[in-house]
């Protein structure tokens, strides 16, 4: 079994009271044991310490700029300079295989190669970590400065993570990604009318 998630521990400043904070992924009952074995090949029966015991170099901040697409909401900002192509933090949430069309925080993690093509997502709508507050770059900057990328932790667990792009991120800069065209198509919104707070897919 995957390690039990650490919830509501070491909540970062400005974390909303109605959301559960997770330092490790939480696995939903919809994830078959065979799929869990692919995602967490070395975790069966063995609890593992949190991979990111250190505090990620990010801070949740309220966005007061009226020209920002996510004005009145939150964003994620760098608390120190980040070199190019550097791991920033993992996107933590509930790992699941059921459909969640109403969630704007459901990010695609993995799809099996079996005939039934089981899709695995990470949903941070109700529980997650700081990564759920990363905004889309559209309407803020000319291009994203961060990206989503799969990785295996030291314990072998498959996770979606946030990395800096081809250029360094300065201290104080907002972390911005591309949600992908399919995210916007699914919501039938134009770039100038976006709500820059939510994440669904990492495809470009």
Query: Quick one: pLDDT at residue 8?
Result: 54
Residue pair 123/94 in contact by the 8 Å Cβ criterion: yes
Chain-wide mean pLDDT for the chain?
83
CATH class of domain segment(s) 20-193: mainly beta
**More confident of the two residues 187 and 181:** 181
Instruction: Report the percentage of the chain scoring pLDDT > 90.
Output: 63
Query: Apex CA 202: angle with CA 201 and CA 204, to 5°?
Result: 110
**What burial letters (b/e) apply to 91-101, b meaning 16+ CB within 10 Å?**
bbbbbbbeebe
Please tell me which residue, 195 or 101, carries the higher pLDDT value: 101
Q: Please name which of 185, 182, 186 lies closest in space to residue 201, comparing C-alpha atoms.
A: 182
Structural domain spans, the chain: 20-193
Query: Is residue 171 a contact partner of residue 81, using CB atoms and an 8 Å limit?
Result: yes
Give the pLDDT of residue 112: 75
- Neighbouring residues of 142: CB distance < 8 A, sequence distance ≥ 6: none
Residue 43 in this model has a pLDDT that exceeds 90: no
Statement: residue 93 has pLDDT above 50: yes
- The reported pLDDT for the residue numbered 203 is 37
pLDDT of residue 187: 53
Range of 110-114, 137-141, 200-204 with top mean pLDDT: 137-141
Please report which confidence band the pLDDT of residue 114 belongs to, taking 50, 70 and 90 as the band edges: low
pLDDT in the model for residue 109: 92
Confidence of residue 196 (pLDDT cuts 50, 70, 90): very low
Cα angle 177-180-185, degrees, rounded to a multiple of 5:
140
Q: Tens of pLDDT along 154-183?
A: 999 999 999 999 999 999 999 999 987 654
* Residue 36: partners with Cβ closer than 8 Å, 6 or more residues away: 1, 2, 27
Helix (H) or strand (E) holding 33: helix 33-39
**Lowest-confidence range among 37-51, 83-97, 118-132?**
37-51
pTM, two decimal places? 0.82
Cα–Cα distance for residue pair 74/82, rounded to 1 Å: 21
């Amino acid at each position: 079994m995957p390690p039990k998630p650490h919830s509501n521990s070491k909540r970062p400043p400005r974390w909303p009271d109605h959301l559960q904070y997770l330092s490790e992924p939480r696995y939903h009952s919809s994830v078959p044991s065979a799929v869990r074995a692919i995602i967490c090949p070395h975790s069966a029966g063995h609890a593992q310490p949190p991979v990111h015991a250190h505090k990620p170099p990010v801070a949740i901040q309220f966005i007061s700029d009226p020209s920002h697409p996510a004005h009145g909401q939150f964003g994620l900002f760098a608390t120190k300079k980040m070199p190019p192509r550097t791991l920033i933090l993992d996107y933590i949430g509930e790992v699941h295989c059921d459909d969640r069309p109403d969630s704007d925080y459901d990010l695609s993690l993995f799809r099996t190669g079996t005939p039934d093509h089981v899709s695995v997502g990470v949903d941070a709508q109700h529980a997650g970590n700081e990564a759920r507050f990363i905004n889309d770059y559209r309407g803020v900057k000319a291009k994203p400065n961060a990206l989503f990328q799969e990785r295996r932790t030291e314990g072998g667990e498959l996770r979606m993570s946030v990395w800096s792009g081809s250029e360094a991120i300065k201290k104080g800069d907002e972390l911005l990604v591309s949600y992908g065209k399919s995210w916007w198509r699914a919501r039938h919104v134009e770039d100038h009318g976006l709500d820059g707070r939510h994440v669904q897919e990492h495809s470009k």
